[in-house]
Amino acid sequence: MNKKTVKDIDLAGKKVLVRCDFNVPYDENRVITDNRRIVAALPTIEYLLENNCKVILCSHLGRPKGEVKPEFSMDIVAKELSRLLDKEVILAKDVVGPDAMIKASNLKEGQIMLLENVRFEPGEEKNDEELSKKFASLAEIFVNDAFGTAHRAHSSTTGVASFLPAVSGFLIEKELNFLGNALENPERPFMAILGGKKVSDKIGVISSLLEKVDVLMIGGAMAYTFFKAMGYNVGNSICELDKLDLAKEIMTKAELKGVKLMLPVDTKIGKEFDPNTESKIVKYTEIPDDWEGFDIGPETIKLYEEELKNAKTVIWNGPLGLFEYEQFAIGTNSIAKALANIDAIKIIGGGDSAAAVEKTGLAEKFTHISTGGGASLEFLEGKKLPGIEAIQDK
């Protein structure tokens, strides 16, 4: 990685603003249900504290859309951070208002504070220059460690970097190293597994990966667009009728590039979108009217598992079925288990696939689970991420 990190800059005793990704899920009682993103930020925070920095953290939570809404307050994050660090985390009552300014100016070495939800500020998502200057006025150095928002040009991710020296934290460094090495210098055979709902969401990723992988396995609802493009009936399955030509192009491109494109050979179908719906297994060519495909079938699982035994590098993005419903989570869970048992570099590209792997309890068997859903997708597409571009080069 050719971007400067916290280790490439003199931090001792400095006031540092750190953009984290604390956009964690929580329940109706405002209890955090998954603290992985907070835990992922700890190495950078602890390093700054060891260097006697005055640490100011900031993040968004949910989508308050430029309005102050108590249900999106960072108070729950401050509490969880205090617990994890075993140290008081001072919470500002605002983002760059009087309370934040006073608390930041009174901050002592080795102390840590958290700003209120950056998206309470209407200028945040517009990358407003005045807001960026106010963020910059709080500190001497800017550290971006929020890979999950690196694909967004916002005030707290890119704008502030115009006014302060900007370096990356350890989390972004790790993300770029794993994802970057997998794409640029993979151990082969290099395989990718793509799931999710729509071909249109993954066009860029598919095109990019067809230039690099040896094998591409397709699952999830987007498989039905391919079946339809091949002339088969897909019943009520999710299918993008305006993307049939694109699916044909992808199949042709894979053939020309010598990439083994694997599509499901059977599918588990259900009568309706319901966890307890009647279901059965059919060949991909025999989906009846009024039925809907919700998972890959046992023959497909077997084929994919056999193929994966040869892999040396695997990138997986998107679940292979409706994994939220137990009877349609078999494909996703089986592939997660198969991957857990192979000796290879295994990278999960964030979002639903990360949640699915966490659910199986096999997360520690993977080389890297990305914290950025949209950001990892855009990175896999080969796009430049504004939050990364704003970090100084080494």
- Annotated catalytic residue, options 3, 14, 19, 37: 37
Beta strands (DSSP E) in 187-322 are: 190-194, 215-218, 260-262, 266-270, 279-283, 292-296, 313-317
Q: How far apart are the first and last CA of the chain?
A: 9
- Annotated catalytic residue, options 66, 97, 204, 374: 374
| Torsion angle of the four alpha carbons 92, 97, 103, 109, in this order, in degrees rounded to the nearest 10 | 100
- Please choose, from the candidates 102, 19, 18, 111, the residue with its C-alpha nearest in 3D space to the C-alpha of residue 60: 19
- Please choose, from the candidates 118, 103, 115, the residue with its C-alpha nearest in 3D space to the C-alpha of residue 67: 118
Beta strands (DSSP E) in the chain are: 15-19, 54-58, 90-91, 112-114, 141-144, 166-168, 190-194, 215-218, 260-262, 266-270, 279-283, 292-296, 313-317, 345-348, 368-369
Active site residue 374: yes
Active site residue 350: no
- Annotated catalytic residue, options 69, 198, 312, 359: 198
Tell me how far apart the alpha carbons of residues 277 and 361 are, in angstroms, rounded to a whole number. Answer: 26
Tell me how far apart the alpha carbons of residues 181 and 190 are, in angstroms, rounded to a whole number. Answer: 12
Active site residue 351: yes
Active site residue 30: no
- Annotated catalytic residue, options 297, 350, 351, 373: 351
271 touches 277 (CB < 8 A): yes
Catalytic residues: 37, 198, 351, 374
